[in-house]
Structures are given as C-alpha cells and as structure tokens.
C-alpha cells in the first residue's frame, strides 16, 4: 500500500490549473481564523504575504510555467527560521521587534518550490522545552485535547499540521523537538541526518545537535518536504557535501528482507499503553515481511544526562550574542556591561536562564572535564552502541515519547521531569542519525501515540519506507476535536 500523498496531490491540482493557490490558501486561512484563538499555534499569521505568494503561483500556472513541487501548498514555519522582513522571535522577548535581513535556506527552497508560507509557529523559547510552555507568548494547546500540551519545542508546527492550519510545517530538532510533538499531536515528524538540511538562517540553540526537519500528515508528504529542503548548501559550513538521500522514490519498497530491532531501553519507563502499541507496530512489520528482534543498546540510557550537559554548554555560548547591541531588545543603562545584564535578564525566560547557567557552569574551569568532556566521551559510547546494533539491524524501533500528551502545567515546576519527556529522542541527536515519528493509534486516554524508527546516518530512505508500512498498519487515529466537531 502506498503512503497517501495529500500535499503532492494538492500541488498537482494547482499545477494543472484544477484549483487556484489563492483558493487553497483562503480555505486554510479560514480554518486558522476559526480555531487559532483556542490553539495558539502561531506567533504570526502572514496572511498578506501568503496571498501575494499564492497569486504569484497562480500567475505562473496561467503563464504555462511550473511553480514547483509544492505549488500553492501552505507551509507553517517554526519561529526560529529566519524570514526576511518578517518578525522572527524564537518565542523570546529578547528578539522583540527583530526582522531578519535574510531568508533561511530552507525558506528560499520552499519559495522556489512554490510553497506558500502561512505563518511563524509558536515554540518553546529558543527551542528549550518539551511542551511549548516556555514560550514568552503563552503555550500552544494540543488540537486533540486543548487541556493538554502539544509537546515541544516545535509544538506550534505540530499543532498547526494536526489542526489543519497547514498540510506541511517545518520544525527543528535538537533533542526530539520535531519527533516528540509530532507523536503527541498525531502527525508525522522527522529529524534528518545531521548536515542533510542546511541550517543557514536557523537560529542556533546547540549547534552540534540542531537539525531542521519536516512535519506532515503522512509519511509520503514528510518525504516530499524533505526532498524539497534537503541537499548541500555552501552557506552552512556543517552542510554535508554529498548526495542527500532521495526518499520519495523508495517509499513503497516495503520491508521484505529488512531486520527491525525493538530497542528495549526505550520501553523501560514508557507507559504500558505506549509499550503495547510499540509491540503492535513491531508485529505489523513482522507480518509485512521484516525480521523483528529485540535489541539492547545500554549506552542510550546515558543519553539524557549527556545531552543536558552538552546542549546547555553549546547554548550558553550561542546565546551570548543576545547582548542588546545589534538587534532585538535593549534595556538602557549607563554603561554597556550593565546594559548587557539588564537586557538579558529582562529578555530571557526562566528555562533559557537555567540552561545558560547550567552550560556556563559545565564549561567553567574545574568542572569542564568532569561534566562537558565526560559527556562528549559518553557521546562516543552511544555512537558505538548504535553502530553495533546497526551491524545486525537495518532500523531500530521504539516509542517516540514515554507517554501521551500531558496536561498543561503538569511539569513546568520541575525541569528534570520535563527533560525526561525526551528520553527516547535524545540519543539520535547525539549520534547525528535520522529518526522519524509516525502516528500509531491511541493510548488508554484516547490521545495519539507515536512510533519512532531510527537508522544510521543517511538512512532516511530506509526509515521512511519502514514508517510507511507502520503507517499503513496503524489502528484508527485520534481525531482532533476540530475534525470531530466536538470538544472532549
């Protein structure tokens, strides 16, 4: 069975003149207008800019030109992706009023493919969080149950796709920030291999871990979006200068002859309903012809600790640039040092301050070797553990998150508990590998569960074709209340 391709079908309809891009856009803007007040997926809806883009696409079609693979398809962008002349906030007060002087490479590629950018989505401040609750502009709510979080940090992008505000969205994933909200909102989300998608114009959080990736309602649509945004970019010095996996062409190849390892460490600590769904997904793959076995990679249990030493370390350095001098907020003071401190203290929220201080501490003299350098050695061990597993298995399978969406406010008072939401997604980032979350039925509470497929570097084609089989076998999904027409 082929993974459904609604965005590609929409683009093809627009390319062939069957429907105007402006009509498609207005339909999506109407859904946003009706429901955004309750969901708060966006920091900014760029309706006027989107109309200009849609009209331009329609003109191209009328002139007999091909606007591109995503002709007229509305796309939502996480608000840490630079858009020229359009406010880009990272959901932080410290970037108040800032309008980037350039577009991120992914934004340029979307425009060149004919996509229509509908808005900038809410996120945890500087992508630091797992629930979108650290946003300076208030939380996003889960479209499946508005008393629950959408996950994070790309919660606005995940919610926008789940709510039907846009069929596609981009997020960034440093420790799970695409996959975890995708799981909690019942959509597909992928973190590609480090270096396959240009990060030029992505506001940095932890540079050795950050990666941009797609959100979509289906595996094939996520593959399509990855094909559009991926590929070498000379503007990003960490961009891989080698062919990016082309994924759409292999999506329907099935899992015959593949070995799938169920990662036992990811089942430890997961809720029983999440564990049950994981086993059910594994059985579906076995029924489709894959060899399924249990695999242990003990090193991944150290991932969370290593991550919360490495990522804050890198963040403390990256966020030093917010000093009130060149852009964004400035709190005036008689001298520059006092101005720097006043600006940063007023501009950053509590979670960002925590991570800056944690990072400064683990990089400071006397502690760097015990914490930061030690975490980098653990990173080596995690990569070695995965490498051993991938000698036996083509892909690894586990849950994306240990629980379904939790209630708003449930974890905001306890940072460590919040950090544990990312326990299944972090090891992938430390290794640089790709992984995708695909919706697979619901938990006992009726909320979406995501199954995660992990693979070695540049295995996007493999993990996505396995995800397509999981998708085809998925039990009935949870429906957003917007679709059901009734609130829970």
- Applying the rule CB under 8 A, the residues between 211 and 250 that interact with another protein are 234, 237-241
In whole angstroms, the minimum distance from the beta carbon of 244 to another protein comes to 13
* Beta bridge pairs of residue 120: 44, 77
Q: Nearest to residue 424, comparing CAs of 453, 444, 395? A: 453
**Angle, nearest 10°, between helix axes 350-362 and 303-318?**
100
**409 interacts with another protein by CB under 8 A:** no
Q: Which stretch binds another protein (CB under 8 A): 157-165, 174-182, 189-197, 215-223?
A: 189-197
Q: Is the sign of the CA dihedral 148, 153, 159, 161 positive or negative?
A: negative
Taking CA atoms, 19 is separated from 220, 226, 449, in Å, by 22, 25, 35
**DSSP letter string, 261-321:** EEEHHHHTTS-HHHHHHHHHHHHHHHHTT-EEEEE--GGGGGHHHHHHHHHHHHHHHHGGG
Q: Smaller CB distance to another protein: residue 280 or 367?
A: 367
Among positions 13, 26, 208, 477, the unique one binding another protein when judged by CB under 8 A: 208
Q: Smaller CB distance to another protein: residue 361 or 483?
A: 361
Q: Is 177 a catalytic residue?
A: yes
Q: Smaller CB distance to another protein: residue 146 or 457?
A: 457
Q: Smaller CB distance to another protein: residue 68 or 201?
A: 201
Characterize 424-463 residue by residue with b for buried, 16 or more Cβ atoms within 10 angstroms of its Cβ, and e for exposed: bbbbbbbbbbbbbbbbbbbbebebbbbbbbbbbbbbbbbb
Q: Smaller CB distance to another protein: residue 432 or 439?
A: 432
Among positions 19, 47, 102, 273, the unique one binding another protein when judged by CB under 8 A: 102
Q: How far apart are CA 433 and CA 356, in angstroms?
A: 26
Would you state the structure tokens that stand for residue 31, as one six-digit string? 């859904």
Q: Which stretch binds another protein (CB under 8 A): 30-38, 99-107, 132-140, 251-259?
A: 99-107
Q: Smaller CB distance to another protein: residue 390 or 419?
A: 419
Q: Smaller CB distance to another protein: residue 298 or 475?
A: 298
Is residue 402 within 8 A of residue 409, CB to CB? The reply is no
Q: Is the sign of the CA dihedral 34, 35, 37, 43 positive or negative?
A: negative
In whole angstroms, the minimum distance from the beta carbon of 365 to another protein comes to 11
Taking CA atoms, 445 is separated from 168, 273, 274, 405, in Å, by 27, 9, 11, 9
Beta carbons within 8 Å of 240's beta carbon, 6+ residues apart: 193, 195, 196, 232
Query: How many chain residues bind another protein (CB under 8 A)?
Result: 75
Q: Do the strands 291-295 and 395-399 form a parallel or antiparallel pair, or are they unpaired? A: unpaired
The three-state secondary structure class of 443 is coil
In whole angstroms, the minimum distance from the beta carbon of 323 to another protein comes to 7
In whole angstroms, the minimum distance from the beta carbon of 182 to another protein comes to 22
Q: How far apart are CA 133 and CA 148, in angstroms?
A: 11
Q: Which stretch binds another protein (CB under 8 A): 68-76, 146-154, 188-196, 197-205?
A: 188-196
Annotate each residue in 415-454 with x if it binds another protein (CB under 8 A) or - if it does not, as one string: xx--x----------xxxx---------------------
In whole angstroms, the minimum distance from the beta carbon of 150 to another protein comes to 24
Annotate each residue in 370-389 with x if it binds another protein (CB under 8 A) or - if it does not, as one string: xx-xxxxxxxxx-x------
Active-site option among 78, 120, 191, 411: 78
Q: Smaller CB distance to another protein: residue 48 or 335?
A: 335
Beta carbons within 8 Å of 31's beta carbon, 6+ residues apart: 163, 164, 165, 482
Among positions 42, 137, 194, 406, the unique one binding another protein when judged by CB under 8 A: 194
**357 interacts with another protein by CB under 8 A:** yes
Site for another protein in 135-174 (CB under 8 A): none
Edge-to-edge strand order for the sheet containing 291-295? 42-45, 116-121, 74-78, 168-172, 212-216, 188-191, 435-442, 448-454, 395-399, 259-263, 291-295
End-to-end CA gap in the chain = 33
Q: What DSSP element (H or E) covers 136?
A: none
Among positions 2, 12, 16, 364, the unique one binding another protein when judged by CB under 8 A: 364
Q: How far apart are CA 264 and CA 389, in angstroms?
A: 12
Annotate each residue in 298-337 with x if it binds another protein (CB under 8 A) or - if it does not, as one string: ----x-xxx-xx------x---x--xxxxxxxx-xxxxxx
In whole angstroms, the minimum distance from the beta carbon of 301 to another protein comes to 8
Among positions 49, 55, 276, 339, the unique one binding another protein when judged by CB under 8 A: 339
In whole angstroms, the minimum distance from the beta carbon of 418 to another protein comes to 11
* Beta bridge pairs of residue 263: 295
In whole angstroms, the minimum distance from the beta carbon of 211 to another protein comes to 10
Site for another protein in 46-85 (CB under 8 A): none
Active-site option among 7, 153, 172, 316: 153
Q: Smaller CB distance to another protein: residue 299 or 471?
A: 299
Active-site option among 3, 130, 157, 177: 177
Site for another protein in 265-284 (CB under 8 A): none
Catalytic residues: 78, 153, 177
């Amino acid at each position: 069975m082929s993974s459904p391709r609604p965005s590609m079908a929409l683009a093809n309809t627009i390319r062939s003149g069957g429907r105007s891009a402006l009509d498609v856009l207005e339909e999506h803007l109407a859904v946003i207008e009706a429901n955004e007040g309750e969901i708060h997926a966006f920091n900014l809806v760029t309706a006027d800019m989107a109309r200009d883009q849609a009209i331009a696409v329609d003109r191209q079609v009328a002139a007999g030109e091909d606007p591109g693979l995503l002709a007229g398809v509305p796309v939502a962008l996480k608000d840490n992706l630079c858009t020229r002349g359009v406010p880009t906030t990272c959901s932080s007060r410290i970037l108040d009023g800032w309008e980037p002087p350039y577009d991120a490479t992914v934004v340029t590629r979307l425009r060149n493919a004919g996509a229509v950018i509908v808005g900038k989505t809410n996120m945890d401040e500087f992508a630091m969080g797992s629930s979108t609750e650290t946003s300076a502009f208030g939380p996003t709510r889960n479209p499946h149950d508005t008393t629950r979080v959408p996950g994070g940090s790309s919660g606005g992008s995940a919610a926008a796709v789940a709510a039907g505000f846009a069929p596609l969205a981009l997020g960034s994933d440093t420790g799970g920030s695409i996959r975890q909200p995708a799981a909690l909102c019942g959509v597909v989300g992928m973190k590609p291999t480090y270096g396959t998608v240009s990060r030029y114009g992505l506001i940095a959080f932890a540079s050795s871990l950050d990666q941009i990736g797609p959100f979509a309602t289906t595996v094939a649509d996520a593959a399509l979006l990855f094909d559009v945004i991926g590929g070498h970019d000379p503007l990003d010095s960490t961009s891989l200068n080698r062919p990016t996996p082309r994924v759409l062409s292999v999506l329907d190849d099935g899992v015959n002859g593949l070995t799938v390892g169920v990662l036992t460490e990811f089942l430890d600590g997961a809720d029983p309903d999440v564990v049950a769904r994981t086993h059910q997904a594994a059985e579906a793959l076995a029924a489709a012809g894959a060899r399924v076995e249990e695999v242990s990679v003990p090193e991944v249990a150290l991932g969370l600790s290593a991550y919360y030493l490495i990522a804050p370390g890198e963040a403390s350095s990256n966020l030093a640039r917010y000093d009130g001098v060149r852009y964004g907020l400035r709190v005036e003071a008689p001298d520059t040092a006092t101005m720097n401190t006043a600006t940063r203290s007023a501009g950053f929220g509590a979670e960002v301050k925590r991570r800056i201080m944690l990072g400064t501490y683990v990089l400071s003299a006397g502690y760097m070797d015990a914490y930061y350098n030690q975490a980098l050695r653990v990173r080596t061990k995690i990569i070695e553990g995965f490498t051993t597993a991938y000698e036996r298995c083509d892909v690894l399978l586990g849950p994306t998150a240990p629980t379904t969406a939790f209630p708003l406010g449930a974890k905001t008072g306890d940072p460590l508990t919040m950090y544990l939401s990312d326990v299944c997604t972090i090891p992938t980032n430390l290794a640089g590998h790709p992984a995708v979350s695909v919706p697979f039925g619901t938990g006992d509470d009726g909320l979406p569960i995501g199954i995660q497929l992990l693979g070695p570097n540049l295995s996007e084609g493999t993990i996505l074709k396995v995800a397509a089989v999981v998708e085809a076998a998925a039990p009935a999904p949870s429906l957003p209340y917007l679709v059901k027409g009734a609130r829970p």
